[in-house]
Amino acid sequence: MTALSAPSAGTGDGPVIRATHTVCPVCVRPLDGTVCEVDGDVRLRRTCPEHGQTDFTLSHNAALYRDLERFFFAVLGKDEAPKGRITNYWVLSTPRCQMNCAFCQTEVESPVFEPMSLEDLRTVLDRYGEDKLTLSGGEATLHPHAEDFFKEAHARGLSTQLATNGVMFARREYCEKMAAAHLTEARVSIESFRPNPKLGAYHDAFYARKIEALENLEKTGITTILSPTIFRGVNEDLLVEALEFAKDRPFIKELSVNGFSWVGEGRQMDAAMMIMPDQMMDVLHRRYGSGDRSEWFELQKMLLAALQLMGVRLCLYTQIMIFVRERDRLAPITDYLDMKRLARALRVWERFANRPYPIRAAAFLAACAFAARPRSIRLLLPMLRLAAATFFAIKIDRYPSALLPVVLNTNCSTLTMDDTVSLQCMSGLVFVRGGELHEGASTDFLLRKERESRANAGA
């Protein structure tokens, strides 16, 4: 067993849930692997002839996660070709960044993509404008034509977003300039809201400026997506802290949470700190859950089915909770539904999962109606607005402020590589390399980068 196991494998091996194709986290050679039960956990397991067996924990809720896998692959048919549309392209505009965090997969000290010119950005708008475009990097605010990108996208009526560390937005004049350029959504990364000794080397030294940035974004009226980075055993409390920060700030319309990226320089960090969405959901349930943990798994099934009906891809490594902003607290949407009735209704809906679309959709709506409670009426209009903002294009600035969706992700890495899951990724990448514009899936981009990094190290 290698030291990468997180945690190390026990002796209570249970059944294999499914077979898959993966890679060795150390040498990145392709390997066959399994998703299996071990001591009540679900783990991705593979054995490299050179580096031995490696386990990586996906969930601590074996029976519940196994049923979610069944629903994802067998009921929704996700073991086949990708289903649904790519809803977002990350535009890697520049490798520059002020922060150069060790856990960032861009690796600004040795990037594997090149800065985009203004013409490159215009080509991106031409080719990929039917989908949402997230200007990213590196740090996209350091690109000399970031403002031009959003102005031209607005003139064309395109859906865009800015992924940023938030540092530039600490300057009010910059915030106003980007608002004038028709920036409508800013995704701000954050690792802490205050000094946190537990973070050690991973402490966000810019956190104070990010708080100023959030204040400026609120005053300027730019919809904000708060994007915390979570390290297992280090700062899981940031999940709750970020939610409580957003609770009374309706300009924050989504939390998009990531586990840190165990790639490149990040491989020097302890792999055990990489956290999976189901483990983050455990943290949220301990704080906000009023019912059994199984209820939140039933909600995942409901949301997966809803997104498939809306033609949206979503990989199994993403989980979603929707919170309702009440007067003095955040309440999970499960509090507004009869979750036992929903579980029964979804079991019935499975019989219609492969029927023609109108029948499948009607059966799903009937299942949702069956799970409704009297207090569900309050959510009817906000949920319809949320669905509309997702169905046509994911426009987070149009999300209703009564709801606060939390999207839990894991950054792709060799630890989690599962080609069956990665087929369903809802995001693509656009980048320049060798002077030419390329499109790719995040896992393919990552694996090529990791293999090149190892080859260069060996040279």
Residue 209: CATH number of its domain: 3.20.20.70
Domain residues for 39?
1-59
Q: What is the mean pLDDT of residues 104-121?
A: 79
**End-to-end Cα, the chain, rounded Å:** 28
Q: Does any domain span residue 202?
A: yes
Task: Name the DSSP class of 71.
Answer: I
Say how far apart CA 39 and CA 11 lie, in whole Å: 7
Q: Does any domain span residue 77?
A: no
- Same domain membership, residue 145 and residue 14: no
Residue 51: the pLDDT is 94
Using alpha carbons, list the distances in angstroms from residue 210 to 140, 168, 243, 253.
15, 9, 16, 17
Q: What is the mean pLDDT of residues 258-281?
A: 85
Q: Does any domain span residue 152?
A: yes
Task: Name the DSSP class of 117.
Answer: P
Backbone angles phi, psi at 63, to 5 degrees: -65, -40
- Same domain membership, residue 137 and residue 19: no
Residue 189: the pLDDT is 92
pTM, two decimals, is: 0.93
- Same domain membership, residue 236 and residue 116: yes
- Same domain membership, residue 145 and residue 4: no
Residue 203: the pLDDT is 62
Coil, strand or helix at 346: helix
Q: Does any domain span residue 147?
A: yes
* Nearest Cα residue to 314 out of 85, 8, 63: 85
The answer, yes or no, to whether residue 87 has pLDDT greater than 90, is: no
- Same domain membership, residue 378 and residue 273: yes
Split at pLDDT 50, 70, 90, the class of 105 is low
Of 106-110, 128-132, 135-139, the poorest mean pLDDT is in: 106-110
Burial of 109 per CB tally in 10 Å (0-12, 13-18, 19+): exposed
The answer, yes or no, to whether residue 3 has pLDDT greater than 70, is: no
Q: What is the mean pLDDT of residues 219-242?
A: 94
- Same domain membership, residue 55 and residue 8: yes
Whether 9 contacts 38, CB under 8 Å: yes
Burial of 356 per CB tally in 10 Å (0-12, 13-18, 19+): exposed
Say how far apart CA 353 and CA 355 lie, in whole Å: 6
Using alpha carbons, list the distances in angstroms from residue 342 to 29, 304, 377.
43, 14, 16
- pLDDT, averaged across the chain: 90
Residue carrying the six token digits 């983050």: 280
- Same domain membership, residue 96 and residue 2: no
- Per residue in 297-315, pLDDT (tens digit) is 999 999 999 999 998 888 8
Q: Does any domain span residue 49?
A: yes
Please give the tally of structural domains in the chain.
2
Whether 441 contacts 425, CB under 8 Å: yes
Residues 6+ apart with CB under 8 A from 436: none
CA 181 to chain centre: 27
Whether 50 contacts 58, CB under 8 Å: no
- Same domain membership, residue 117 and residue 156: yes
- Same domain membership, residue 400 and residue 312: yes
Q: Does any domain span residue 358?
A: no
Identify the bridge partners of residue 42 per DSSP, sorted by sequence position.
37, 59
Q: Does any domain span residue 80?
A: no
Q: What is the mean pLDDT of residues 193-216?
A: 79
Contacts of range 145-152, beta carbons closer than 8 Å, 24 or more positions apart: 145/117, 145/118, 145/121, 146/93, 146/178, 147/177, 147/178, 147/181, 148/118, 148/121, 148/181, 149/91, 149/93, 149/121, 149/125, 150/178, 150/181, 150/182, 150/183, 151/181, 151/182, 152/121, 152/122, 152/125
CB atoms within 10 A of CB 54: 28
Residue 11: the pLDDT is 53
CA 411 to chain centre: 7
Backbone angles phi, psi at 388, to 5 degrees: -65, -40
Q: Does any domain span residue 69?
A: no
Structure tokens at 452: 């090149």
Q: How many residues does this entry show for the chain?
A: 459
Whether 137 contacts 97, CB under 8 Å: yes
Task: Name the DSSP class of 61.
Answer: -
- Same domain membership, residue 233 and residue 156: yes
Backbone angles phi, psi at 202, to 5 degrees: -100, 10
Split at pLDDT 50, 70, 90, the class of 330 is very high
Whether 207 contacts 194, CB under 8 Å: yes
Residue 106: the pLDDT is 62
- Same domain membership, residue 315 and residue 262: yes
Q: What is the mean pLDDT of residues 83-105?
A: 83
Whether 304 contacts 314, CB under 8 Å: yes
- Same domain membership, residue 40 and residue 163: no
